[in-house]
Amino acid sequence: MAASSIGYQIHINVNSPILLPLRTNFSSLSFTFSNAKYPLKWNHIGCPKICALPAASIMASGSSRETLPPALDSSSEPPAIFDGTPKLYISYSCPYAQRTWIARNCKGLQEEIKLVPIDLKNRPDWYKEKVYPANKVPSLEHNNEVKGESMDLIRYIDSNFEGPSLFPDDPSKREFAEELFSYFDSFYKAVISSLKEDKINDAIGVVAAFDSIETALSKFVDGSFFLGSFSLVDIAYAPFIERFQPFLLEVKYYDITTGRTKLAAWIKEMNQIEGYTVTKRDPKEHLENYKRRFLSQL
């Protein structure tokens, strides 16, 4: 019998598993939860078997898009500091800050954690003097402390605020996640080195780097993400692949998805996640930024 295409809207308790019919393709699927204070949704196209989806697989999403505040510069007054409101200091253009912004969004914390964008080209003195002496973004003001480092902060946001978990309970997936976190620096350095070369053939490392990503995305078969379901690992890599892809394609004539079906599927799935897409910049902006950064070195 041919697979059916069905749109579901289901009201359930957040602690219950969701059982989906065998051989059903879902064109649209949305959920509301009886014990959640914000709307939650999960989207999936094509389910070839019965799926039991834990709460960790479901991402929080606001009912309407957040109005983004303007970036604060040297002429701007500081926000109220240590007033009890958690604040996430970011730059709209920084991939490291984008990680924390995505985590905040996917936890449904748009109202709980105030977004404070900083103009890095004209940053205010008060940010270093009163908020974060390292004078970098991202940083998070919470419980009368300010913490930094994006990889630490996405873990902190996931562990210390309400919302769906962005890290799996499965020990094998947690172990693999740690491997991917550790691999990120090697991946980043390999790709950045290739951007400085005249031709992609002169930078074998970038090919190996994206082959490693393809292999990693092939490990779990229960979804298109690194750990099957969306997680902090996807958040860690997405802002950088978002920037690498257009530059490599436009300038180096290298399509990172050619011959890499898992990576292509991952990019497509990431672009279905509103908590991520609202943080994305125009690819042309990334392209111009990278041209200024790397082509001047050739």
**CB of 222 closer than 8 Å to CB of 229:** yes
- Residue 52, class by beta-carbon neighbours within 10 Å (0-12 exposed, 13-18 middle, 19+ buried)? exposed
Helix (H, G, I), strand (E, B) or coil at 22: coil
Q: Provide the residue count of the chain.
A: 298
Q: Which residues of 190-204 are buried (b: 16+ CB within 10 A; e: fewer)?
A: bbbebbebeebeebe
Q: Which residues, in sequence order, are CB contacts of 149 under 8 Å at separation 6+?
A: none
Q: Six-digit token pair at 175? A: 């172990």
Q: In this structure, what DSSP letter does residue 162 have?
A: S
Q: Mind listing the pLDDT tens digit of every residue in the chain (298 residues)?
A: 443 333 333 333 333 333 333 333 433 344 433 333 333 434 333 333 223 333 333 455 444 578 999 999 999 999 999 999 999 999 999 999 999 999 999 999 999 999 999 999 999 999 999 999 999 999 999 999 999 999 999 999 999 999 999 999 999 999 999 999 999 999 999 999 888 776 665 567 899 999 999 999 999 999 999 999 999 999 999 999 999 999 999 988 999 999 999 999 999 999 999 999 999 999 898 889 888 888 865 4
pTM above 0.85, yes or no: no
- CA dihedral (265, 191, 156, 66) positive or negative: negative
